Chain A
């Protein structure tokens, strides 16, 4: 389990007005006194609006930046001091199209990143083969990443994030800017990583429906502080929200899914619509 206790992060900004001007020092407190846990086999969500401190939190937990105060342990080991040990056991995937070498192919990217983890050649090739299959990029493995679509790049990022078989995975807005079909595929993949392969996953997102679908436990972040925590049921309990029967029109998203599935000849998509639409039927007010 990854355990964070009373983590805070303050950035010190040095500003110069002109070349020989005096430096102004400004302190920005990005995250204040955060305590959270990431157990294995579960998906932990961190929700919040833009600028709430989600990214700083995830980067601190992934040992990319050090906390200004507080303690961070992974399976009982001090994660701040032993960051290289931690880095062997974790990985991070961010949304967007960065973090890959665009002129390299999928296979070349994975080979490079795999080698950085010191994985032997034979094992690495096997792992790359499996991962490409998992994320559905087998056929595109020899095409340079610059010719990939957004969704393909995101799937390759996931493969990259799994190359060292991490025990914990940090996902920073993994479905950012993706269309509904691909976002759904990626959500299913995330779900199976936690439930079937027992990985501890931390997910930040500002798509509330995504969090509701995936997360076992949710932390709500605002202005750098945790303002609420709990399972989704517990969170709803805060305002005593009772389920109520609502007669609701099918949302445009569901309609779109149905249209796409019908044109692809994949049935009428009834099951998925029920699953997707789960949140609409118990809409909290």
Chain B
């Protein structure tokens, strides 16, 4: 299992929610949010795939965050 921790100050929850929806079919995701971070436990069929899914999920959430700031 790979854990992705995104700080709430830098990533809006809506961006993570949308990213999780997009990547739903690429692994199993379990959210256990903390006061300061969004925490996602990722399970995939191999550690290398978990690393890739976690990285792409983080990138996607970052991209949505940046686009959201440009719109506002």
The answer to whether A and B belong to the same complex is: no
Q: Show the binding face of A for B, using Cβ within 8 Å.
A: none
Q: Show the binding face of B for A, using Cβ within 8 Å.
A: none
